[in-house]
Amino acid sequence: MEELQKEINCVKEKYDNNPDFKVHRFEYFEKKIALIYMKSLCNEAQIKKDIIEPLLLCEKQGKYLLHLLSMPSCQHINASDDVEKLLLQGNALIALSGEIYSVDVRKPTNDQPLDATVEQTVQGAQKGLSEDLTMNMTLVRNRYPSKQLKIEQQTVGTLSKTRIAILYDVDYVQEDVLDEVKKKISGLKADIIQAAGQLHNYMTKEKYRIFPTMMITERPDRLALNLSQGKVVILMNGTPFGLVAPAVFFDFLSSMDDKTLPYWVTRLLILLRYVGLLITIILPSLYIAITSYNPEIVRSQLALTIAGSRAGVPYPSFFEVLFMMFAVELLVESSLRLPKTIGPTATTVGGLILGQAAQQAQLVSSIMIIITAFVAISNFTIPINAMSFAVRCARYPLIVFASFFGIVGVVAGLILLLCHLSDLRSFGKPYLKMYWGTTDKMSKVRESRKE
């Protein structure tokens, strides 16, 4: 006991200057009672309700102790416990007749589910995750009420001590993936981890990475679905996003709407996304290749139209393309960070005025304006944002290849991209590979559990 007392004194000295460190002393049962907690982390109303009020109602010390210990979060502290850590996690310590008890009175932060804004669906669930880990676990549990769902909690980040939870279905989970996830988390070397994407960055070996190998999602329904597919879900306190591993290329082009819409509608939408993906990757480079190397590929009509509209443009085609791509990227980037009220103005100024004027001033050809718009719009059809960003990056090497080697360069660039993608592994699973029919099998209801 003396050890504990010493430690409390030590903590007290350490934090004495901090205004939010509270040591509250009073006397009752003719004994000294001390209540120690961090004001900024704790819910004082709860302290009053759970700790002080019962004290006044209890006439004997034994009854009060019984009450304290009956609270689910209360704990009798042994010497070995790290008092400081408990305090920083939002516990209140009660020192009573030489014994110390801790009660969890943490003040919840942002525990309301937020609206799904990043990954919207038309007719699916409209609420996403919250910023509170406990709440998020509740949300997932609600959607996946299985006794097989296992949750393991730990913290990451030597300074931030961010609490994370690893969720998986014990029966369906792919053991090799789970082992690798755990291995990677335990091997993490980072001070501050505050967002899901950051955790993803630390968990992948490759430093120079374009494509996401873990799914970042804010939708609890996607998490529940992925749990049933045997994937591992990582939730993190303080961010409304969860990570899913493994994730392959095709996952990033699937939307939760695909499950709610009729079969043929879904197929059409999926096809649309893949066509959009192709267009957004190759169209700018194809324009360079066709206008500057091989105009004989297209029909005479189109070739002459392009030649006519380019007649007044003083710069070579790749400048034209880079210029317009740059304008669009700026537009996207600026409207991302702007407050919602100014957003539309930026779009109008950038999109309408700049595009129109650039064409009239003969800085770019009118065909290029069409291509720019086409590329930008088809980029937005990719449902997962991480992939959409990756694709935006991937088209620039292709532009370089096209300006050096023309149409052969475009094909070569696509091949290199294909090589890169098929060589990626997401936690041991091939990233790009033809899965004949296995996705259907996955989404089917499995009556019997895995043997």
Partner 1 sequence: MKRACFIFLLCELLFLCTILAGCAFRDIDKRFFVVAMGIDKSNDEKRPYDVTLKLAIPSPEIRPGKANFQIISEKADSIPEAVRVMKSKVDKEFDFGHCRMVVFDEKTIRKNQGFTINWFLRRRDIQGITYLGIGKPSARDVLKARVQSERLPGNALILSFDPTTNTSPYIMTSMLNDFYMRVREDGIDPYLPIIEPIKGSYNISKVALFAKGTLKADLTRDETRILNELMSTDRRGQINVASGGNQLFVNVDDLKSGIQVMLPKGEKPYIDVHLDIKGFIEGSGEKLATDQELKRYEKIAGATISKRVKRVLKTIQKMEADPLGLGLRYQAKMGATEQQTKDWERIYPNMDIRVHTDLKIKGTGTMY
Partner 2 sequence: MARYYFFIILMNMTLNIILNVPMVLVENRFNGSIMSILLSIPIGSLLAYLFTKGMSRFPKMDLPTILENNLPKYVYKPFLVFLSLMWIASGSFALISFSYLIKTYIMPEASLELISGLFVFVYIYGAVRQTASLLYKAEITMVIAFPVVLFIIFKAMRSDLFNYVHIVRMIHFTWELPNYSSVAAATYLFIGYINLAIFNRYIDSKKALRWFWTVPILGTGILLSSFFVPIGFFGINAIGDIILPWLMSADSLRMQFGFIERTVFLLIFFYVLMTFLFGMVTWHIGLELLKGAVQSMKKKTWGRSFLLIVGILTIIFQLQVNHREFSSIVKYWFNFRFPVEVLLVIMVYLFSLRRQNV
Interacting residues toward partner 1 by CB under 8 A: 290-296, 300-301, 303-311, 313, 316-319, 322, 366, 400, 403-404, 406
Asked whether the beta carbons of 139 and 129 are under 8 A apart, the reply is: yes
**Structure token digits, residue 356:** 């129109």
Q: What is the secondary structure of 359-415 as a DSSP string?
A: HHTTSS-HHHHHHHHHHHHHHTT-SSHHHHHHHHHHHHHHHHHHHHHHHHHHHHHHH
Asked whether the beta carbons of 150 and 170 are under 8 A apart, the reply is: yes
Residue 432, binding choice from partner 2, partner 1, none, Cβ under 5 to 8 Å by partner class: partner 2
Minimum CB distance to partner 1 smaller for 212 or for 406: 406
Residue 317, binding choice from partner 2, partner 1, none, Cβ under 5 to 8 Å by partner class: partner 1
Kindly list the residues in this chain that would bind partner 2 in the complex (CB under 8 A): 293-294, 296-299, 405-409, 411-412, 415-416, 418-419, 422-423, 430, 432-434
Strand, helix or coil for residue 249: helix
**Structure token digits, residue 269:** 């939408």
Minimum CB distance to partner 2 smaller for 212 or for 409: 409
Question: Least distance to partner 1 from the beta carbon of 316, Å?
Answer: 6
Instruction: Tell the burial category of 42 from Cβ atoms under 10 Å away from its Cβ (0-12, 13-18, 19+).
Output: buried
Minimum CB distance to partner 1 smaller for 236 or for 290: 290
**Structure token digits, residue 210:** 């374009």
CA distance 244 to 74: 33
Question: Least distance to partner 1 from the beta carbon of 8, Å?
Answer: 47
Question: Least distance to partner 2 from the beta carbon of 359, Å?
Answer: 24
Residue 409, binding choice from partner 2, partner 1, none, Cβ under 5 to 8 Å by partner class: partner 2
Residue 308, binding choice from partner 1, partner 2, none, Cβ under 5 to 8 Å by partner class: partner 1
Question: Least distance to partner 1 from the beta carbon of 354, Å?
Answer: 20
Asked whether the beta carbons of 339 and 345 are under 8 A apart, the reply is: no
Minimum CB distance to partner 1 smaller for 221 or for 320: 320
Strand, helix or coil for residue 314: coil
CA distance 257 to 253: 11
Question: Least distance to partner 2 from the beta carbon of 253, Å?
Answer: 15
| Single-letter amino acid, residue 435 | Y
C-alpha radius of gyration, the chain, whole number? 29
Residue 34, binding choice from partner 2, partner 1, none, Cβ under 5 to 8 Å by partner class: none
Question: Least distance to partner 1 from the beta carbon of 312, Å?
Answer: 8
Question: Least distance to partner 1 from the beta carbon of 192, Å?
Answer: 20
- Which position has the token pair 């406990």? 134
- Which position has the token pair 């695909």? 258
Residue 411, binding choice from partner 1, partner 2, none, Cβ under 5 to 8 Å by partner class: partner 2
Phi, psi of 89 (to 5 degrees): -90, 5
Question: Least distance to partner 2 from the beta carbon of 415, Å?
Answer: 5
What angle separates helix 263-292 from helix 385-423, to the nearest 10 degrees? 70
Residue 415, binding choice from partner 2, partner 1, none, Cβ under 5 to 8 Å by partner class: partner 2
CA distance 76 to 305: 82
Minimum CB distance to partner 1 smaller for 98 or for 308: 308
Residue 419, binding choice from partner 1, partner 2, none, Cβ under 5 to 8 Å by partner class: partner 2
